[in-house]
């Protein structure tokens, strides 16, 4: 067959030229938009783009040299083999890239890589054998011959493997990714088939590029926000992970401003100031925007350069801008440390420190802050384990109590149960350390059920031993009352421990929300009908609505120590507190004063219609087993 076997109708350079142009654009976008260039998938994607680029380049010059008057046989053979080699590299890298989206295990993954490598490179070896033995593509003299070609079969086998992988692992992908992978590979197959039916070879490289483009748009979309120039939180995780793995120090400045994005959209002046600050200060770092209005600026710390001074200048500029606009903020400055090795933990560190920092304050994270955070994280992990186990006898939850003095009888016949944790690594943990963590993370309910169960068990033992005990109260969170089966759970525990309902009291604080109040009211009424007593805890602190208090059938009102302190300041304060206590007494509520520390406090409370007294004057919190030292036995 002579050299005209590849005429202009068989090939046009437009396909390869277009593919090369797209590769340059894709590579540029990929490099500019990728914050973490050490990421495995970024390197694979860039390598695939480069491989397609060289495949198109060698394909173009291969056909150009075929049309030359004098054939350069070695160069033509080399370009043909190189073209197919680059395309084969694209196939192998494509399967390697799919490992993470398809969650492929190591064993199966290695088998597929081996199979695709054979499918990708075997046709090249067969083609070389065909060149040598003159049964495929070969040049003889100044004539070109084309016999059997293996490449269409190799490409079809590759696509079969890809479709097999996508369909087999479809349950591990969200529908959008599954549909995208199927669609781009179908388009690639269709383009190749159409090209084959028209005896064309112009768009071979582009057909290989279509699946690569699909992956790029799915997993390497623009991470930068157009309005703020900031990258997303996923990119932050990638950069932080790389710095941790390579032990590179990273400075992080976290700024939290409520609803900042909307405020910037509403104020052109604020937007202009933001971009001025951005251009002037964020030259060598990367700014990340989180969905909750949080921004984090990262600066890779180099051996040379005074970063403290640079951070100081940046903060001073921020303070100057704040004086103009006056938007409330919290600033946390931190640096990577060996003790924290997870990107997610650094995000939690910022959240932890924000709870500790006041409005319009800047705080630099110290070693002691890190220790407190790690301790808090450990407590959180233990709380999650306690919650997941659902064991109401969990040994890590301890019951302490504080005896309550009955003024009328002159005896101790009630007590308040108090919770402690005893954890393997930290020992005894007090409520102020773990209750806020448990409530914030929705883990309080299992703790409440556990302390209720252990308190009921102790009540059963005390009654069996003949001690006189009116009741022991247990603190419940408003989060507990939101549980649909709250009343049933309380009843089950009391019945399980075989004690009278009236021996248990529930302490709750007043709720503000209307829905929450109605829920509280219905559950208080249901349990009180069984004989369970109810205490209103912390009266006099924060929020008090007398109308709602009167709607709830409380048995005892607990006056906070702050009211006791207020009552001794002057006659007016004493009259006010005394009037409150007298009013509740007249309405058949019993009044309990907390925080009684000495004889003077006790005398004041006796004069203010108190029935029960509780505080360090009588006892500090003690293990509930020691309550026997305060109770009297029945005759």
Whether residues 201 and 164 fall in one domain: yes
Distance CA 225, CA 508 (A): 46
Q: In the Cβ-directed half-sphere of 402, how many Cα atoms lie within 13 Å?
A: 19
Q: What interhelical angle do 73-97 and 106-133 show, nearest 10?
A: 170
| Highest mean pLDDT, choosing among 276-280, 500-504, 548-552 | 500-504
Q: Pairing between strand 137-140 and 143-146?
A: antiparallel
Distance CA 532, CA 502 (A): 5
Contact (Cβ atoms closer than 8 angstroms) between residue 583 and residue 546? no
Q: b/e string for 499-516 if b means 16 or more Cβ within 10 A?
A: bebebbbbbbbbbeeeee
Contact (Cβ atoms closer than 8 angstroms) between residue 505 and residue 556? yes
| Alpha-carbon distance values, 119 to 145, 151, 318, 328, 401 (Å) | 25, 10, 59, 61, 74
Mean pLDDT of 52-60: 94
Whether residues 322 and 414 fall in one domain: no
pTM of the model: 0.68
At residue 34, the pLDDT reads 66
Instruction: Out of 104-118, 196-210, 474-488, 617-631, pick the least confident.
Output: 104-118
Q: Does residue 226 sit within a domain?
A: no
Distance CA 356, CA 351 (A): 9
Structure tokens at 262: 């909307």
Query: DSSP characters for 563-606?
Result: HHHHHTT-HHHHHHHHHHHHHHHHTT-EEEE----SHHHHHHHH
Mean pLDDT of 274-293: 78
* Residue 591 φ/ψ, nearest 5 degrees: -105, 130
Whether residues 346 and 419 fall in one domain: no
pLDDT tens digits, 303-327 = 655 667 878 888 898 999 888 888 8
Whether residue 419 is predicted with pLDDT greater than 80 in this model: the reply is: yes
Q: Does residue 507 sit within a domain?
A: yes
Whether residues 203 and 250 fall in one domain: no
Is 428 exposed, middle or buried, given 0-12, 13-18 or 19+ CB atoms closer than 10 A? exposed
Q: Does residue 228 sit within a domain?
A: no
Distance CA 433, CA 440 (A): 12
Q: Does residue 408 sit within a domain?
A: yes
Whether residues 99 and 46 fall in one domain: yes
Whether residues 215 and 247 fall in one domain: no
Whether residue 2 is predicted with pLDDT greater than 70 in this model: the reply is: no
Coil, helix or strand for 327?
A: coil
At residue 483, the pLDDT reads 87
Whether residue 570 is predicted with pLDDT greater than 90 in this model: the reply is: no
| Alpha-carbon distance values, 448 to 384, 417, 477, 481, 615 (Å) | 14, 11, 8, 11, 23
Rounded to an integer, what is the distance from CA 455 to the centroid of its chain?
36
Residue 38 vs residue 74, higher pLDDT = 74
Mean pLDDT of 261-270: 82
Whether residues 134 and 203 fall in one domain: yes
Whether residues 479 and 338 fall in one domain: no
Whether residues 249 and 132 fall in one domain: no
At residue 499, the pLDDT reads 96
Coil, helix or strand for 77?
A: helix
User: What is the domain-level CATH number for residue 592?
Assistant: 3.20.20.450
Q: Which helix (H) or strand (E) holds 351?
A: helix 343-356
Q: Does residue 556 sit within a domain?
A: yes
Q: Does residue 377 sit within a domain?
A: no
At residue 224, the pLDDT reads 64
Give the domain-ending residue among 219, 251, 271.
219
At residue 145, the pLDDT reads 75
Domain that holds residue 105: 3-219
Which residue's entry shows tokens 């002579």? 2
Whether residues 437 and 324 fall in one domain: no
Structure tokens at 432: 């102020």
Number of domains making up the chain: 3
Distance CA 604, CA 578 (A): 9
Percent of the chain with pLDDT over 70: 91
Q: Which residues are registered as beta bridge partners of 472?
A: 415, 504
Q: 387 falls in which pLDDT band (50, 70, 90)?
A: very high
Q: Does residue 376 sit within a domain?
A: no
Mean pLDDT of 148-160: 84
Query: DSSP characters for 260-298?
Result: HHHHHHH-HHHHHHHHHHHHHH-SSSEEEE-TTSEEEEE
Structure tokens at 570: 């002057």
Rounded to an integer, what is the distance from CA 154 to the centroid of its chain?
44
Give the domain-ending residue among 219, 243, 260.
219
Whether residue 1 is predicted with pLDDT greater than 70 in this model: the reply is: no
| Alpha-carbon distance values, 79 to 61, 84, 93, 133 (Å) | 7, 9, 21, 19
User: What is the domain-level CATH number for residue 246?
Assistant: 3.30.70.270
* Among 106, 211, 196, 110, residue whose Cα is nearest residue 158: 211
Whether residue 92 is predicted with pLDDT greater than 50 in this model: the reply is: yes
Q: Does residue 379 sit within a domain?
A: no
At residue 173, the pLDDT reads 67
Whether residues 445 and 508 fall in one domain: yes
Whether residues 284 and 426 fall in one domain: no
Calculate the average pLDDT of the chain. Answer: 86
Contact (Cβ atoms closer than 8 angstroms) between residue 94 and residue 212? yes
Mean pLDDT of 36-52: 84
Mean pLDDT of 266-281: 82
Whether residue 257 is predicted with pLDDT greater than 90 in this model: the reply is: no
Distance CA 592, CA 628 (A): 22
Whether residue 85 is predicted with pLDDT greater than 90 in this model: the reply is: yes
User: What is the domain-level CATH number for residue 32?
Assistant: 1.20.1070
Give the domain-ending residue among 332, 365, 398.
365
Which residue's entry shows tokens 């001690």? 467
């Amino acid at each position: 067959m002579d050299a005209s076997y590849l005429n202009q109708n068989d090939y046009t350079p437009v396909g390869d030229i277009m593919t090369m142009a797209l590769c340059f654009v894709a590579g540029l976008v990929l490099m500019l938009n990728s914050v973490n260039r050490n990421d495995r998938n970024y390197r694979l994607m860039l390598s695939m783009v480069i491989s397609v680029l060289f495949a198109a380049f060698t394909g173009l010059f291969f056909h150009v040299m075929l049309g030359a008057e004098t054939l350069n046989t070695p160069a033509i053979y080399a370009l043909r083999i190189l073209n197919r080699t680059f395309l084969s590299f694209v196939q192998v890298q494509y399967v390697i890239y799919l490992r993470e989206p398809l969650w492929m295990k190591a064993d199966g993954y290695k088998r597929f890589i081996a199979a695709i490598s054979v499918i990708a490179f075997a046709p090249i070896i067969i083609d070389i054998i065909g060149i040598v033995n003159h049964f495929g593509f070969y040049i003889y003299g100044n004539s070109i011959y084309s016999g059997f070609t293996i490449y269409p079969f190799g490409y079809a086998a590759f696509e079969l493997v890809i479709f097999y992988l996508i369909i087999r692992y479809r349950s591990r992908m969200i529908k959008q990714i599954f549909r995208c992978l199927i669609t781009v590979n179908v388009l690639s197959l269709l383009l190749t088939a159409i090209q084959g039916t028209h005896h064309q070879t112009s768009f071979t490289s582009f057909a290989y590029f279509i699946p690569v483009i699909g992956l790029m748009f799915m997993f390497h979309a623009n991470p930068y926000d157009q309005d703020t120039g900031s990258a997303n939180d996923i990119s932050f995780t990638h950069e932080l992970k790389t710095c941790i793995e390579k032990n590179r120090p990273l400075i992080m400045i976290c700024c939290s401003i409520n609803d900042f994005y909307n405020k910037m959209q509403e104020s052109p002046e604020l937007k202009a100031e933001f971009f001025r600050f951005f251009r002037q200060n964020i030259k060598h770092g990367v700014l990340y925007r989180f969905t909750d209005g949080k921004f984090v600026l990262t600066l890779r710390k180099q051996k040379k350069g005074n970063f403290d001074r640079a951070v100081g200048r940046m903060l001073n500029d921020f303070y100057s801008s704040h004086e103009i606009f006056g938007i409330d903020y919290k600033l946390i400055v931190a640096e990577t440390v060996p003790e924290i090795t997870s990107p997610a933990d650094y995000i939690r560190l910022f959240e932890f420190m924000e709870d500790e920092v006041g409005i319009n304050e800047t705080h630099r994270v110290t070693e002691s802050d890190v220790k407190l955070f790690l301790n808090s994280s450990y407590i959180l992990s233990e709380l999650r384990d306690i919650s997941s186990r659902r064991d109401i006898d969990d040994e890590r939850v301890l019951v302490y109590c504080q005896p309550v003095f009955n003024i009328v009888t002159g005896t101790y016949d009630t007590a308040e149960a108090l919770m402690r944790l005893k954890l393997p690594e930290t020992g005894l943990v007090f409520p102020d350390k773990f209750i806020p963590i448990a409530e914030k993370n929705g883990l309080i309910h299992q703790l409440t059920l556990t302390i209720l169960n252990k308190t009921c068990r102790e009540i059963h033992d005390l009654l069996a031993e003949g001690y006189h005990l009116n009741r022991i109260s247990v603190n419940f969170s408003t989060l507990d009352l939101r549980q649909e089966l709250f009343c049933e759970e309380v009843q089950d525990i009391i019945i399980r421990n075989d004690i009278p309902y009236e021996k248990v009291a529930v302490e709750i604080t007043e709720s503000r929300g209307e829905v929450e109040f109605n829920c509280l009211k219905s559950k208080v009424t249901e349990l009180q009908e069984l004989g369970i007593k109810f205490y209103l805890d912390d009266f006099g602190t924060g929020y008090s609505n007398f109308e709602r208090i009167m709607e709830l059938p409380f048995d005892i009102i607990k006056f906070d120590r702050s009211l006791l302190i207020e009552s001794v300041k002057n006659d007016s304060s004493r009259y006010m507190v005394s009037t409150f206590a007298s009013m509740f007494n007249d309405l058949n509520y019993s009044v309990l004063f907390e925080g009684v520390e000495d004889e003077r406090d006790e005398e004041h409370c006796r004069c203010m219609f108190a029935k029960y007294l509780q505080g360090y004057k009588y006892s500090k919190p003690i293990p509930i087993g020691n309550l026997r030292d305060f109770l009297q036995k029945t005759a």
